[in-house]
Structure 1
């Protein structure tokens, strides 16, 4: 099972001072060594995938708890902290912010060579990294552009993703967490790589249906095309059927939306002989804020090109459809709109983020505080801090931050 959480913060500007980053690296190294020594690398991977535990670790290391910089700086500090000790600790970190994030597959492959991992396991890790990033950019269309992607993994195959997107309109950043407790090879399933060749897909998980575990957010978007929601199941199924039916059939549906997507044309009408069929009337209250009004359905050679390509491939499932090179947010959105407007398969438009912390809220919203999980997080951090070689005053300050 894959678990993912989402956290939303204010968008931070500026750079982390050198002295603070060095301090984060030093303290982070001590924390990781103690936590991994006591709980093992697999438990660390599991914990780093927890949005609240990740946030607590950043707070312990003395970074701003509610800024976007916590994600990027903490990840960079942890990566630097274990540099040269990865094999001894059993934990490996690839990727990072901006251009570094695009090097994630290469870094995973390099570690695969150094560790002599089975080729299929390395391919699986690369696939999981790429698809998790693609899901949060193409299937969770919440207005946040992914700019940070870090991939944590162990030699045994467990992995976690911590990635972050920015929304420049409301000046906030949102963090996405992924976690897998194990990696399996399913020889009966296939994926499509960048060369459009089929190969064994090393995943037994659902990347495309309800992958969330704990979700933390300060802001909730009013309109999000959430194609990973369970409520979007019919949309996912129909999207696959549309491309399997062939390019000519699909492009006819696209043309209907192109013709009737402007404010002037408020309904999609099809005439067959002397019969007239109305597919949609945008004046209805239900479609008052429907994206078809805002969507640009003008001639797009690229959209037609990628649709022709994917229709020729005929992917067997929605995950394989998404994994096809070139399938991005606009193409997935176009398929979703055709599925809804013409065939009535309405997706979810609810933001998967929530106004709560993963441990619950004091007013029981959305659920009562999970005292056991809450206490376990604090106690784990306290034990790790107690074992680090620091001045008494420094340890007391850190523990006081945890108890706030």
Structure 2
């Protein structure tokens, strides 16, 4: 698998340049197709971690020659991403700190600004020497046992906190506190204003709200927020005086509970409601012939097959490996 992905990457970089890899990996269809052609289970959450792992191992030793680098990974490895980026050092023709910021902010958005019940446990940061980048990260929901994959493409991110994703993939949708949705603009502005209010005032407002009965449609439970525990971080935001929502989100210690509390005050006290629309758009699967989790979309299915064929044709693997892969693909066609 590492050998095959190594040759696929070499072929793509030789043909299109290193900047093509972030573009392709940010495409959920192409990423899924790559995982399938490498032999991973199409319907397993492991396709994300194993494909990213194979990519990172596949180009090991060739990073400087390719002008392509991959940092991060699963679990504890994901926390090494900043040091791995900085470690590339002189091989970059751009400021590594900008890439470190992109890595940290993308992780912060998907763990705190998009509260969908999926705990992020995998973060891969793909970047080139000139500063092109993409993020593929994944979260797991312990309640429904589904995984959710988040795709980012640096060249398409004009604002880290306003519709920044290239795609979000999952087979399950639900209610989500989505502070990066376009319709959350007023709520974002209000949370910044509130973050500059004295902590005693904020804590007092939350305690008042805990005596209220919110309508059943509301997806943030005020009783899950513990005002006294938030006092310290409210003090920090008050002293820092963030200029916008991105700055607020970037403050160390500001996490899901802080954002939930500020969003709740924003809505209940000032009528500035955030979006609760789940931003997931794509699914891990092509669908099932029995209609579950949804009917097969043949056009999408054919597109994935064509992507696989092109990837194989462009690879430089030995003839036997190439033909075996194409035979397996043709067998699926029958």
* TM surpasses 0.5: yes
Give the corresponding residue for 2:152. Answer: 178
Q: 1:156: how far off? A: 0.8
Give the corresponding residue for 1:327. Answer: 254
Looking at structure 1, the residues matched to 42 and 331 of structure 2 have their Cα atoms a distance apart, in angstroms, of 10
1:74 to 30, 51, 56: 51
Aligned to 2:39, the other structure's residue is in SS state coil
* 1:314 is the counterpart of 2:241: yes
Give the corresponding residue for 2:101. Answer: 127
Q: 1:373: how far off? A: 7.0
Q: Kindly report structure 1 stretches of 4+ aligned residues shifted beyond 4 Å.
A: 355-360, 367-376, 401-404
Looking at structure 1, the residues matched to 285 and 248 of structure 2 have their Cα atoms a distance apart, in angstroms, of 32
Give the corresponding residue for 1:115. Answer: 91
Looking at structure 2, the residues matched to 151 and 401 of structure 1 have their Cα atoms a distance apart, in angstroms, of 34
Looking at structure 2, the residues matched to 401 and 334 of structure 1 have their Cα atoms a distance apart, in angstroms, of 54
Q: Deviations over 1:276-330 (max 9, x none)?
A: xxxxxx3xxxx114245463244533x1100111111110000000001100000
* 1:218 is the counterpart of 2:176: no
Aligned residues: 328
Looking at structure 2, the residues matched to 60 and 374 of structure 1 have their Cα atoms a distance apart, in angstroms, of 10
Give the corresponding residue for 2:135. Answer: 161
Looking at structure 2, the residues matched to 376 and 41 of structure 1 have their Cα atoms a distance apart, in angstroms, of 22
Distance 1:292 1:376, change over 3 A: closer
* 1:295 is the counterpart of 2:223: yes
Q: 1:163: how far off? A: 0.6
Q: 1:30: how far off? A: 1.3
Q: 1:331: how far off? A: 0.3
Aligned to 2:136, the other structure's residue is in SS state strand
Q: Are the equivalent residues in 1 in contact too, given 2:196–2:241 (CA < 8 A)?
A: yes
Looking at structure 1, the residues matched to 75 and 268 of structure 2 have their Cα atoms a distance apart, in angstroms, of 37
* 1:46 is the counterpart of 2:23: yes
Give the corresponding residue for 1:231. Answer: 183
Aligned to 2:224, the other structure's residue is in SS state coil
Looking at structure 2, the residues matched to 241 and 299 of structure 1 have their Cα atoms a distance apart, in angstroms, of 18
Distance 1:356 1:95, change over 3 A: closer
Looking at structure 1, the residues matched to 54 and 231 of structure 2 have their Cα atoms a distance apart, in angstroms, of 44
After superposition, where does 1:246-325 map in structure 2 within 5 Å? 246-258=198-210, 260=211, 265-266=212-213, 282=214, 287-293=215-221, 295-301=223-229, 303-325=230-252
Structure 1 residue runs of 5 or longer lacking an equivalent are: 1-23, 183-203, 267-281
Task: Considering fraction of residues, name the structure with more strand.
Answer: 1
Distance 1:83 1:398, change over 3 A: farther
* 1:102 is the counterpart of 2:72: no
TM-score (norm 1): 0.74
**RMSD between aligned alpha carbons?**
2.9
Looking at structure 1, the residues matched to 219 and 172 of structure 2 have their Cα atoms a distance apart, in angstroms, of 21
Q: 1:401: how far off? A: 7.1
Q: 1:98: how far off? A: 0.5
Aligned to 2:69, the other structure's residue is in SS state strand
Aligned to 1:255, the other structure's residue is in SS state helix
Distance 1:66 1:172, change over 3 A: same
After superposition, where does 1:309-388 map in structure 2 within 5 Å? 309-354=236-281, 377-378=307-308, 380-385=310-315, 387-388=316-317
Aligned to 2:19, the other structure's residue is in SS state helix
Distance 1:79 1:355, change over 3 A: closer
Q: Are the equivalent residues in 2 in contact too, given 1:91–1:154 (CA < 8 A)?
A: yes
Looking at structure 1, the residues matched to 331 and 263 of structure 2 have their Cα atoms a distance apart, in angstroms, of 46
Distance 1:368 1:307, change over 3 A: farther
Give the corresponding residue for 2:61. Answer: 84
Looking at structure 1, the residues matched to 74 and 158 of structure 2 have their Cα atoms a distance apart, in angstroms, of 26
